[in-house]
Amino acid sequence: MSDTKDVILDYIKEEYLDDEDMELDFSSPLITGGIVDSFSMVSLKRFLETKYKIQIPDAKATPEAFDSVDNIIVLLKEFNVE
């Protein structure tokens, strides 16, 4: 699971951060912290679906579920991604 966490964190850094000095960890608030806006969340959802070969229903792709890497890991467990 720590591999999965790292993969997701790396993707978020690459995709959303312009400032390389900005620190981000597994519990950093992504949506409420203004790092990922609601428009850009689709990239993260599509990345997860492609990477782990799953389909996340829109009803489960909520701002809360995507608000940190830790939260995303909880969501992925529902799809048996470890």
Partner 1 sequence: MAYGTKEREFLKNELNGIKNDGIFKEERIICAPQNSEIDVVFPTGTDEKKVINMCANNYLGLSSHPDVIEAARKGLDHRGYGMSSVRFICGTQDIHKELENKLTKFLGTEDTILFPSCMDANAGVFEAFMNEKDVMIADRLVHASIVDGMRLAKAMTDTYKHSNMDHLEKKLILHKDKRLKLIITDGAFSMDGDLAKLDKIVELAEKYNALVFVDDSHSSGFIGKTGRGTHEHFDVVGKIDIITTTLGKALGGASGGCVSGRKEIVEMCRQKARPYLFSNSIAPVIVAASNKVIDIVTETTERRDKLEENTKFWRKGLTEAGFIIKDGETPIVPVMLFNAKLSQDFAKDLYSEGIYAIGFFFPVVAKGQARIRTQLSAAHDMVHLEKALAAFIKIGEKYEILHKTKEEIIEKYGS
Which member of 27, 40, 70, 77 binds partner 1 (CB under 8 A)?
40
- Taking the complex as a whole, the smallest distance from the CB of residue 67 to partner 1 amounts, in Å, to 18
Among 10, 25, 27, 42, binds partner 1 (CB under 8 A): 42
Containing 46, the helix (H) or strand (E) segment is helix 41-52
Does position 64 interact with partner 1 (CB under 8 A)? The reply is no
User: What CA–CA distance (Å, rounded) separates 43 from 17?
Assistant: 14
DSSP H stretches of helix in 17-65: 41-52
Nearer CB in complex with partner 1: 28/43: 43
